[in-house]
């Protein structure tokens, strides 16, 4: 995630200014251009740039208004904005910064200084992205963590209800994992957990599918727009894939190799269960998978 070129949107009605800034930025950045406030907002929403270099005097609305609208939309609220403007009065600058701009550069500008400031702000953006990524990730398995799952689950549940799509959720729990740790040691247990997590991740086929680590040795799978039959198929393939890892487990009462149990539940298209109830149903299904012998999928 560090090597990717960052996107900068230049919003200025003056063609020469756009050209000069674009030429400065192009070697190292993806440059997007807008001539008006409306165009800037449209490009920002569509491309989610890392940084907007925003002129204040635009033909349709002023730059302050553009910034206000960016902040009002959750999708664009966190985009960094640098004003780059001929309005050099201290009160103009104060107003821009108060509205939440990262910086304020007056024209005529010095290219080297502009580049240095852009680099500084983009570095901040990169570090913030990295921190966000780490805050959402489980360190052991590199899957999404529980906090991330909870956020995405809420969003996907809402989306499924609104569009009357199916939504499937499944909980995976390693069988006899306590005995595994006791016999093979905790570091070996960690390796197994990572291997199971890898299988879970590769079982997720669509970009909107999510595998997360919910707790100790429990993973969750979230499959939007997936009905019960499809989700059961995915879960069964995952259960089988873990068994096929052929990880020896001498102390398991279930099988000579490591196995998992999976419980799932589906909100059918147009269904009405609330998000906690759907999750509880998956947990209940897992409990029954365990009770009925483990190494199985129950929906
Ligand atoms: P069951 O088949 O009923 O699921 O039995 P179990 O032994 O797997 O279930 P239980 O919940 O009793 O034990 C879970 C074990 O998972 C206990 C704990 O030591 C282990 N565990 C949880 N998190 C980790 C981890 O991060 N690393 C390792 N190595 N073990 C973990
Ligand atoms: Mg202008
Ligand atoms: Mg458990
Ligand atoms: Mg277990």
Q: Spell out which residues line ligand 1, taking CB within 6 angstroms.
A: 140, 173-179, 181, 186, 189-190, 193, 216-217, 290, 294
How high is the mean pLDDT of the chain?
Answer: 96
pLDDT tens across 95-108, in order?
A: 999 999 999 999 99
Q: What's the 3-state SS for 119-130?
A: HHHHHHHHHHHH
Identify the band that residue 177 occupies on the pLDDT scale cut at 50, 70 and 90.
Answer: very high
Interface ipTM > 0.90: yes
pLDDT tens across 19-40, in order?
A: 999 999 999 999 999 999 999 9
pLDDT tens across 39-57, in order?
A: 999 999 999 999 999 999 9
**Ligand 1 mutation target, pool 138, 178, 195, 291, most atoms within 8 A of CB:** 178
Give yes or no for residue 2 having a pLDDT over 80: no
pLDDT tens across 162-172, in order?
A: 999 999 999 99
Ligand nearest to the CA of 181: 1
Peptide bond into 199 cis (omega under 30): no
CB contact set of 276 (below 8 Å; sequence gap of 6+): none
Concatenated DSSP letters of the chain: --SSPPEEEEE-S-HHHHHHHHHHHTTTSEEEEESSHHHHHHHHHHH--SEEEE-S--SSS-HHHHHHHHHHSTTTTT-EEEEEES---HHHHHHHHHTT-SEEEESS--HHHHHHHHHHHHHHHHHHHHHHHHHTB-TTT-SB-HHHHHHHHHHHHHHHHHHT--EEEEEEEETTHHHHHHHH-HHHHHHHHHHHHHHHHHH--STT-EEEEEETTEEEEEEET--HHHHHHHHHHHHHHHHTT--B-TT-SS-SB--EEEEEEEE-TT----HHHHHHHHHHHHHHHHHTTSSSEE-
pLDDT tens across 205-240, in order?
A: 999 999 999 999 999 999 999 999 999 999 999 999
- Residue 133 CA, ligand 4 centroid: distance in Å: 28
Please indicate whether residue 284 is annotated as part of the active site: no
| Residue of 189, 159, 153, 158 whose CA lies nearest to 174 | 189
Percent of the chain with pLDDT over 70: 99
CB contact set of 84 (below 8 Å; sequence gap of 6+): 12, 17, 21, 53, 54, 55, 105, 106, 107, 109, 114
Strands of the sheet containing 297-298, edge to edge, are 210-215, 218-224, 167-174, 260-267, 297-298
């Amino acid at each position: 995630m560090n090597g990717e070129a960052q996107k900068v949107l230049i919003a200025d009605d003056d063609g020469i200014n756009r050209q000069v800034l674009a030429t400065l930025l192009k070697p190292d950045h993806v440059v997007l251009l807008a001539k008006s406030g409306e165009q800037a907002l449209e490009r920002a929403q569509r491309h989610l740039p890392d940084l907007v270099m925003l002129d204040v005097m635009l033909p349709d609305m002023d730059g302050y208004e553009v910034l206000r609208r960016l902040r009002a939309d959750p999708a664009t609220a966190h985009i960094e904005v640098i004003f780059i403007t001929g309005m050099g009065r201290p009160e103009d600058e104060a107003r821009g910064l108060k509205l939440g701009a990262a910086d304020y550069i007056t024209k005529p500008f010095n290219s080297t200084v502009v580049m240095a400031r852009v680099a500084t702000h983009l570095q901040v953006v990169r570090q913030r992205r990295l921190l966000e990524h780490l805050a959402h990730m489980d360190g052991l398995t590199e899957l999404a963590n529980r906090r991330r799952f909870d956020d995405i689950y809420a969003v996907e549940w809402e989306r499924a209800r609104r569009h009357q799509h199916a939504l499937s959720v499944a909980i995976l729990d390693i069988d006899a994992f306590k005995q595994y740790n006791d016999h093979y040691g905790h570091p070996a247990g960690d390796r197994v957990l990572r291997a199971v997590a890898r299988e879970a991740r590769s079982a997720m086929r669509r970009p909107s599918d999510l595998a997360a680590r919910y707790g100790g040795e429990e993973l969750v799978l979230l499959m939007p727009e997936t009905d019960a039959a499809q989700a059961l198929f995915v879960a069964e393939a995952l259960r089988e894939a873990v068994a096929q890892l052929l990880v020896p487990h001498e102390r398991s009462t279930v099988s000579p190799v490591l196995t998992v149990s999976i419980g799932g539940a589906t909100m059918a298209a147009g269904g009405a269960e609330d998000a906690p109830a759907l999750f509880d149903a998956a947990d209940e299904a897992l409990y029954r998978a365990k009770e009925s012998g483990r190494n199985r999928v129950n929906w």
